[in-house]
Amino acid sequence: MIRLILTFFLFLVLLIISGCSMVTDQVTTFMGGEDNAVPPTPLEDIQQQITIQKLWDQNIGDGTNEQYLKLVPVYSQNRIFVADSDGDVNAIDAQTGKTLWSYDTDTKITGGPGAGDNIAMVGTGEAEVISLSAETGKQIWRARVSSEILAAPVVSGRIVVVRTIDGKLFGFNADDGKRLWVYDRTVPTLTLRGTSAPVIAGDYVIAGFDEGRLAAIELFTGKLVWETRIALGSGRSELERMVDIDAEPVIVDDVIYVATFQGRVAALALDSGRILWTRDISSYAGLCADDSAIYITGDNSEIWSLDRFTGNSIWMQDKLQARAVTGPDIIGNMIVVGDIEGYLHWLDKETGEIVGRNRVSNNMIITPPVTASDILYSYASDGTLGAFSYSAINTDVSPPIQAESKTEDTAQTQSNPDSEAEVASTPEADTEADTEADPEEPEEGSILDKLLEKLGGGEDD
């Protein structure tokens, strides 16, 4: 009898072990087995064509604490405002790097900072927006919102605008934190972990939402002015149909430039939301613009330069693929991006050639650089904040920069830099305020005239 019991017990143990192994195998199979992610492209040695000067650097708390939070520093009134995920907000002298004040919010910061109108603002994972004095760091007010904040609050006209992850925009009085209005948008079941920060242009708040929608909201009332759908999701699964707008829109001369994940890059008229041109480029990292071109980081870390008036390709740089490259920023004649190994890559704005490289930290950089007064600021995930400038050097005598990357496999590009833009190709335009009315005629010589002249008079969809 005892022998039978022991045999049965041994059978149960073997069954449990076998079951655990089976479950592990099933989980491994469900999760895709071995890691099949494309490895980062190894860095090539480059010929240094610029001198990159580090003006100062310092450690700002715990940074993003490996939570992949895009706590992008912001420049205002010769100060850099920077936050870390543990709740500290710092004001740094932009020229010297000296800490002017530091404030502990006693909560987890997940969005921001934003700055303007003599205040600095952050959003929290506890559904709060906090306003501080930009001069002293003293708390002015705290206000509750409906959910977590992952984007920087913005302020204009004494109104603070906050975007939450549940699809809402809130307007607050900048003086006392009193809620003025709420704009609500439904959120699909599956979205990217992130939200697009709103942008204020005059009396409009321009905000990107999930499902590829861009909306203009009245700053003082929260009423919808227009809404346009930039891209339509396609595919059998919800993952394939995601076309979120997570990158902050950019506005130049009354034209909005916006990018969607698994969707398109588009130019729209600020006053009406009418699409002027589109390109099939997927991006969630970000974009920037100058007088003649826009610069975009694609979702496989390829960097594009597009004609601002037509959307046609100028150049595409693919030597940084799969390096989790940040959104770009402009300093002088350079386009600068950060990457997964803590490097800044400096590209010639005219050609896209990588002409310089420097390392900010041994940890990843996930926030795009910020440029102000000919100084570029970069914030690494370990809390290292650095300030840099550059100058041209004699390339005949400069030694090549030796790559320190430890990656081994090279990713292959799947992008086509020669593809042309689709002009005024709109999958859907939804407008709840005068949607059928013709947009006002632009003034003679305006940017819209130039766009339509280059495009040959493109029509609305």
One pLDDT digit (tens) per residue for the chain, 461 residues: 444 444 444 444 333 444 444 333 433 333 344 556 678 889 999 999 999 999 999 998 777 666 678 899 999 999 999 999 999 999 999 999 999 999 999 999 999 999 999 999 999 999 999 999 999 999 999 999 999 999 999 999 999 999 999 989 999 999 999 999 999 987 655 455 567 899 999 999 999 987 788 999 999 999 999 999 886 655 565 555 556 788 899 999 999 999 887 778 999 999 999 999 999 998 888 999 999 999 999 989 999 999 999 999 999 999 999 999 999 999 999 999 999 999 999 999 999 999 999 999 999 999 999 999 999 999 999 999 999 999 998 655 455 666 654 443 333 333 444 445 555 544 444 434 333 334 444 444 555 555 545 545 444 44
User: Does residue 46 sit within a domain?
Assistant: yes
Residue 400: predicted pLDDT: 60
Rounded CA-CA distance 303/297 in Å is 5
Q: Which residue has the tokens 């001198």?
A: 51
Decide: pTM greater than 0.85.
Answer: no
Rounded CA-CA distance 118/73 in Å is 16
User: Does residue 335 sit within a domain?
Assistant: yes
Domain count, the chain: 1
Q: SS3 sequence, the chain? A: CHHHHHHHHHHHHHHHHHHHHHHHHHHHHHCCCCCCCCCCCCCCCEECCEEEEEEEEEECCCCCCCCCCCCCCEEECCEEEEECCCCEEEEEECCCCCEEEEEECCCCEEEEEEEECCEEEEEECCCEEEEEECCCCCEEEEEECCCCCCCCCEEECCEEEEECCCCEEEEEECCCCCEEEEEECCCCCCCCCCCCCCEEECCEEEEEEHHHEEEEEECCCCCEEEEEECCCCCCCCCCCCCCCCCCCCEEECCEEEEECCCCCEEEEECCCCCEEEEECCCCCCEEEECCCEEEEECCCCCEEEEECCCCCEEEEECCCCCCCCCCCEEECCEEEEECCCCEEEEEECCCCCEEEEEECCCCCCCCCCEEECCEEEEECCCCEEEEEEEEECCCCCCCEECCCCCCCCCCCCCCCCCCCCEECCCCECCCCCCCCCCCCCCCCCCHHHHHHHHHCCCCCC
Contact indicator for 63, 87 with CB cutoff of 8 Å: no
C-alpha dihedral over 134, 139, 140, 144, to 10 degrees?
Answer: 120
Tokens of 422: 């689709």
Q: What value does the CA radius of gyration of the chain take, rounded to a whole number of Å?
A: 24
User: Does residue 238 sit within a domain?
Assistant: no
Contact indicator for 455, 447 with CB cutoff of 8 Å: no
Q: What does each C-alpha distance from 397 to 49, 50, 54, 391 come to in angstroms?
A: 10, 12, 21, 15
Rounded CA-CA distance 52/392 in Å is 9
Contact indicator for 247, 198 with CB cutoff of 8 Å: no
Rounded CA-CA distance 211/258 in Å is 13
Rounded CA-CA distance 205/309 in Å is 23
C-alpha dihedral over 379, 369, 75, 212, to 10 degrees?
Answer: -110
- Written as one letter, the residue type at 105 is T
Q: CA 91 from chain center: how many Å? A: 22
User: Does residue 269 sit within a domain?
Assistant: no
Residues making up the chain, counted from first to last: 461
- Written as one letter, the residue type at 33 is G
Residue 283: predicted pLDDT: 86
Rounded CA-CA distance 100/183 in Å is 36
Q: SS3 sequence, 11-74? A: HHHHHHHHHHHHHHHHHHHHCCCCCCCCCCCCCCCEECCEEEEEEEEEECCCCCCCCCCCCCCE
Q: CA 394 from chain center: how many Å? A: 35
Residue 16: predicted pLDDT: 41
Residue 415: predicted pLDDT: 41
User: Does residue 360 sit within a domain?
Assistant: yes
**Which is it for strands 159-163 and 79-83: parallel, antiparallel or unpaired?**
unpaired
Q: Which residue has the tokens 């990843």?
A: 364
User: Does residue 81 sit within a domain?
Assistant: no
Domain that holds residue 316: 39-70+285-424
Domain of 419: which CATH number?
2.130.10.10
User: Does residue 66 sit within a domain?
Assistant: yes
User: Does residue 205 sit within a domain?
Assistant: no
